[in-house]
Structure 1
Amino acid sequence: MKTRQIERTRLVPHTVDGITEMVLDKELIEVPAPPRDWDQLVRTGVTVGAVVLVTASLAWTTTSIGDLLSAVTVSAIAYTAAVAFDASWIMCMAVEWLLRYDPERANTARRAGRWALAVSMGAVFAHGYLMADTWVIGAVGAVVSGLAKGGWWMAMRVHARPLDPRTQQWVAKRRAAVDGQLALIPIRRELQRGQALVEAEQRALGAAADPGSADPDQSGQSADDPDADPQPSASGPMTIKDAVRTALDSGIREPDRVLAYVRKVADANARADTVSRYIRLAG
């Protein structure tokens, strides 16, 4: 049986000059070595091979299509645009992998990837045919992208974890619930911004309509006379909450004056903490 060494650390008592302390003691012990996971090694090899194929395809397609397009434009721009041909189906494969547990959306990415691959292979074929005047070279060059996509598709199959129909439905329902909550975050933020703008507009209009310029002749009123302060009018029975809001809308901000008004028009036994709470909520 194969073994391997591992380091184990434990606390042991150690005494110096009659004083004992717990210190760390390290020792190497041998434990049975696990068997080699050949499946994982093969899976890793397939993934690395797929990455190599895709990289080679990207380089080949970019070179071929870039050389084709450089006949009509600047080389730097031509080769930059050529990257889009293989990069498009590579991106579709990445999206397909991310959506592997959502078959309906993954199918859209799969179909888009096939169309992008066909366009890329057609462009490479055109380059080989026009430059070498033979369809064989164009066809062989176009197959490179097809082989790369096939290799990556096989790697995706190796890593795939298919779900049974019932589990797939469960995942879809859970994803829909979470996606709905995520979608509501920007919606709530937008509604809050809109509500803030509406409230700011209302406050601005309320300030413009402030009755501070009602009667310029204030010579007959005393600044110390409490009756000189404007009082909101009470129309019918009111709750404590309605009375607090009416007082605040009328410009009364001091808690004592709000409390006095509430006791006058709503409830003579209204508690100060209740009125204060309604003031905070209204603010």
Structure 2
Amino acid sequence: MKTRKLERTRLVPHTVDGETEMVLVREHVDVPAPPADWDQRVRTGVTIGACILVSVALVWSTSAIGGLLALSVTAVVAYAAAAAFDTTWIMCMAVEWLLRSDPDRAKAPRRAGHWALAVSMGAVFAHGYVSGQLIIGAVGAAVSALAKSGWSIAMRVHARPLDDRTRQWVAKRRAAVDGQLAMIPIRRELQRGQALVDAEQQALGPADPDQSGQSADHPDTGSTPTDRKSLTTKDAVRIAWTDGIRDRDAVIHDAAARLGRPVSPDSVDRYLRDLKRGA
């Protein structure tokens, strides 16, 4: 039986000059080694092989398509644009990998990947046709197809199919979490907007210091509240007017004394004009 050494530690008492302390002791023990997991090794090998195939296909397609595009544009621009052909279907495969537990959502990137692969293969074949080497163009186009097939096989190796009920459960849980994630930027946007509104209000100040809730065009001359908590600027001006005070500064002073706080001269002027018109 194969064994392997493991390091284990434990605390033991150790006494020096009559003083005992717990010290750490390290020791190595032989334990049975687990059998080789060939399934995992094969799975890893398939994944590495698929990655190599994709890399080779990307280099080959970029070289071929870049040579085709270089007939009309600068080589640097041509090869940069050529990389987009295979990169597109590789990105689609990556998205399909991320959505491997959700077959419904994986259909769109899988379909898009097939179309992108077809376009890339057509461009590689076109390069061979223009160069007068149809066989090389056809074989070169098959490189991308083989790479995508290899990756599809690797995905099947890593796939964990779910039954219908489990897929529904996962879909509902994912929808709930996605809703919470979607609300994060929305809340941030609302908070930023509210902060702008608050800053605007603070910068402009209150539109009307008087919060009486009544129109100054029709001053109520029938009541004379005396409670400062319920007394408004309009009430204080009206009381001063009723008492025969007509001087603006005197009205402002009297209203401030009744309210126990400063009053807005603009509001006092507005209420005095309304009272004069009403008189």
Give TM-score, length-normalised by structure 1: 0.74
Write out per-residue CA displacement over residues 129-164 of structure 1, whole angstroms, 9 at most, x where no aligned residue: 211x13211110100000000011101110010100
Counterpart amino acid of 2:22?
Answer: M
C-alpha distance in structure 1 between counterparts of 2:42 and 2:139, whole Å? 28
Q: 2-side partners of 1:21 and 1:93: how far apart?
A: 60
1:29 CA displacement: 0.6
Q: Report what 1:23 is aligned to.
A: 23
Displacement, 1:18? 2.1
Separation of aligned partners in 1, 2:58 and 2:189 = 42
Quick check: 1:14–1:20 contact (8 Å CA) kept in 2?
Answer: yes
Q: Tell me the residue number matched to 1:227.
A: 258
Structure 2 residue aligned with 1:159: 158
- Establish whether residue 172 from structure 1 lines up as the match of residue 171 from structure 2: yes
Q: Provide the C-alpha distance between the structure 2 equivalents of 1:83 and 1:225, rounded to a whole number of angstroms.
A: 78
Match status 1:217 vs 2:216 = no
Contact 1:58-1:83 within 8 A present in 2 as well: yes
Give the structure 1 partner of residue 182 of structure 2: 183
Runs of 5+ unmatched residues, structure 1: 233-283
Separation (CA, whole Å) in 1 of partners of 2:256 and 2:80: 82
How far has the Cα of 1:167 moved from its partner?
Answer: 0.2
Question: Unaligned regions of 5+ residues in structure 2, if any?
Answer: 211-232, 238-245, 264-279
Aligned residues: 231
Aligned pair in 2 of structure 1 residues 221, 185: CA closer, same or farther (>3 Å)? closer
Computed over aligned residues only, the root mean square deviation of the Cα atoms, in angstroms, reads: 2.8
Which residue number in structure 2 is paired with residue 14 of structure 1?
Answer: 14
Give the 5 Å matches for 1:186-265.
186-202=185-201, 207-210=206-209, 217-219=248-250, 226-229=257-260
Q: Give the TM-score normalised by structure 2.
A: 0.75
C-alpha distance in 1, partners of 2:189/2:101? 31
Q: CA deviation at 1:28?
A: 1.0
Q: Could you tell me the percent identity over the aligned residues?
A: 66
Structure number, greater radius of gyration: 2
AA in 2 matched with 1:65: I
Q: 1:17 to 1:137 in 2, by over 3 A?
A: same
- What's the secondary structure of 2:248's corresponding residue? coil
Q: 1:217 to 1:115 in 2, by over 3 A?
A: same
Letter in 1 for 2:161: P
Question: 1: distance between equivalents of 2:22 and 2:128?
Answer: 76
What is the CA distance between 1:96 and its match in structure 2? 0.6
> 2:115 corresponds to which residue?
115
* 8 A Cα contact 2:256 2:262, kept in partner: no
